[in-house]
Amino acid sequence: MDIDPTASIARFENVGLRYGLGPEVLQDVTFELMPGSYHFLVGPSGAGKSSLLKLMYLALRPSRGLVHLFGRDIATTARDDLPALRRAVGVVFQEYRLLEHLSTFDNVALPLRVAGLREADIKRHVEELLVWVGLQDHMNARPPTLSGGQKQRASIARAVIARPNLLLADEPTGNVDERMGYRLMHLFEELNKLGTTVVVATHNEAMVRELGHPVMRLDGGHMSVSHGTKYQTSNVQMGEF
Amino acid sequence: MFSRRTDLPLDKDALSGFLPWLIAFMVFLAALAQAGLIGLDELARRWDSGMAAQLTVQIPSDSEASGATDTRRLQKALNMISETPGVMHAEVVSENQVLKLLSPWLGVVQATDVPLPRLIDVELEPDVKFDARVLQQKLARTIPGTQVDDHGVWLARLIQMVRTLEALAAGVLALILTAATATVVFTTRTGLTVHREAIEVLHLTGAHDRYIAKQFAARAWALGLKGGLFGLALAAPTLFVLGYVADRLQAGMLPDMSLPPLGWASLLVLPLAAGLVAGLTARYTVMRNLRRML
């Protein structure tokens, strides 16, 4: 299944999400993410930031409403086509979610291996990327022996190795010091300049103000969007459906 | 269908340690059941084809007749039998041989101690329909009391018993296969639960269900093959010992029940079959269970 590069990256229409019989954690969320945009996703703890990201990286299905990813309605997409959509989404998890029995190299190589690339190509790509994120000396190290920052960088490398169209990062600065936090944000900006659409969920309001990208704000399960102060205009459109 | 490299730590499962042992035990039992099945089938076929083309004619002993008269009667019967169409060969069973055949029941006796019937072994031409009753009537008219035993009745009963035992052995094999499959399903499901987190990461990085299933299948195939080889290694000496004991018991009481070379060769298939069943079962279980995940 091919991804249409001109289609909107993600489109949510009146999306609601509840876990089991509990209350809705997301209510009537409606927005559209256009290609090449960079957004922060903010809100207090429990506002539904991680749940929204999970819907975007297809770890959950909405309880109601429509979710379109790369122009495809998720509800009607065949199970066999989901892996191709997921390969177009890179995810930096809050708890890294590296596989502890695999080396840094193998963790980062994972998206390429599941995509069926040749081992020689995988080696070349992974080694280049590990140099770029400064982990070239830790290729054979296993995650338990890495520091928080190193794990975070390995996690980012895994998220971007397959050149995803959409990069989602859930609290990427939560477990690293401020300096490392800014370095990661600049790394995401570099990727954004290369054409990757980026959504970063964060609590760090100061950083959000300073970097000036458009902001999607979740509060009590409802979403509002404010335009950023940076040159870029918000590519989030709301309530136009 | 199977893959050698794995992204999941399947080697570290406690259950992976048990699976080869369980499969070894099942392959051991399966090898015994299969050897029994093959041995019995061979026996039934031998009886069916060999002994069905044989007759035994029994001429009762006449206590009042002299030895010379007995010999004349025997020769007369032998001539009549040999001249009957469909008979390929007829031969008198010596008194010593008759005594030997009866020794398990009578012990060591002399021909003069008991009135022994005289026996004639008759070999029939194969594929010729022979009516033993006609021969019986013809002989009885000349030598009263003569019996023709075409082995049919007791042979049919024996073959029926052997076929029943064969069905039992096949049933045991089917039960073992079911138990092996259930064991693999259980261990695979446990593996899916244990590695749920890693499987989710694989899914989220774009892995197809079949990519994950391949890894489980490869592991189950390797463990099944390993267990199967171990089970066969245990079964082979057991079968040799059983064969040896049966040979010693034989002494005219039991027919030859040794396993033919093809039978031994068929046992070599068991470890491969164990690996294949384990691999395919694991693959099917994973594919079925992953369908429930997003």
What residue in B sits closest to A164 (Cα-Cα)? B205
Chain A residues with beta carbon closer than 8 angstroms to that of B291: 79
Closest CA–CA distance from residue A60 to any residue of chain B (Å): 7
Partner residues linked to B266 by β-bridges: none
- 10-residue mean pLDDT series, chain A (241 residues): 75 94 92 92 90 94 94 91 93 92 95 93 94 91 92 92 93 80 85 92 88 90 79 47 31
Of the residues B204, B208, B294, the best mutation for testing chain A's interface (the one with the most A CB atoms within 10 Å of its CB) is B204
Chain A residues with beta carbon closer than 8 angstroms to that of B16: none
Partner residues linked to A64 by β-bridges: A16
- Please give the tally of structural domains in chain A: 2
Nearest to A58 among B207, B209, B294 (CB): B294
A174 and A124: one domain?
Answer: no
Nearest to A60 among B7, B203, B294 (CB): B294
Domain that holds residue A51: 1-88+164-241
Buried b (16+ CB within 10 A) or exposed e, B233-247: eebbeebeebeeeee
Question: Cα–chain-centroid distance for residue B66?
Answer: 49
Buried b (16+ CB within 10 A) or exposed e, A192-223: beeebbbbbbbebeebbeebebbbbbbeebeb
A82 and A115: one domain?
Answer: no
The answer to whether position A95 is within a domain reads no
A16 and A66: one domain?
Answer: yes
Is the Cβ pair B206, A87 closer than 8 Å?
yes
Is the Cβ pair B7, A83 closer than 8 Å?
no
Chain A residues with beta carbon closer than 8 angstroms to that of B9: 99, 101
A12 and A78: one domain?
Answer: yes
**Widest pairwise Cα distance in chain A:** 50
A183 and A220: one domain?
Answer: yes
Question: What's A219's domain CATH number?
Answer: 3.40.50.300
A223 and A119: one domain?
Answer: no
Nearest to B198 among A83, A87, A99 (CB): A99
Which positions ≥6 away from A216 have C-beta within 8 Å? A31, A39, A40, A41, A42, A199, A223, A224, A225, A236
Chain A residues with beta carbon closer than 8 angstroms to that of B210: none
Tell me the CB-side half-sphere exposure of residue B27, using CA atoms within 13 A: 33
A5 and A119: one domain?
Answer: no
Question: Cα–chain-centroid distance for residue B89?
Answer: 31
Nearest to A86 among B198, B206, B211 (CB): B206
Cα(B123)–Cα(B198) distance, integer angstroms: 73
Give every strand in the sheet of A222-226, ordered side by side: A89-92, A166-170, A197-201, A38-42, A215-219, A222-226
The answer to whether position A93 is within a domain reads no
Per-residue pLDDT in tens (0 to 9) along chain B, 294 residues:
555 567 888 877 766 788 899 999 999 999 999 988 888 888 777 777 666 677 888 888 776 666 677 788 888 888 888 888 888 888 888 888 888 877 777 777 776 677 778 889 888 887 777 788 888 888 888 888 888 887 766 777 888 888 898 899 899 999 999 999 999 999 999 999 989 999 999 999 999 999 999 999 999 999 999 999 999 999 999 988 888 887 777 555 556 667 778 888 889 999 999 999 999 999 999 999 998 876
Last residue of a domain, one of A137, A162, A187: A162
A177 and A239: one domain?
Answer: yes
Predicted structure pTM score = 0.76
A6 and A21: one domain?
Answer: yes
ipTM metric: 0.86
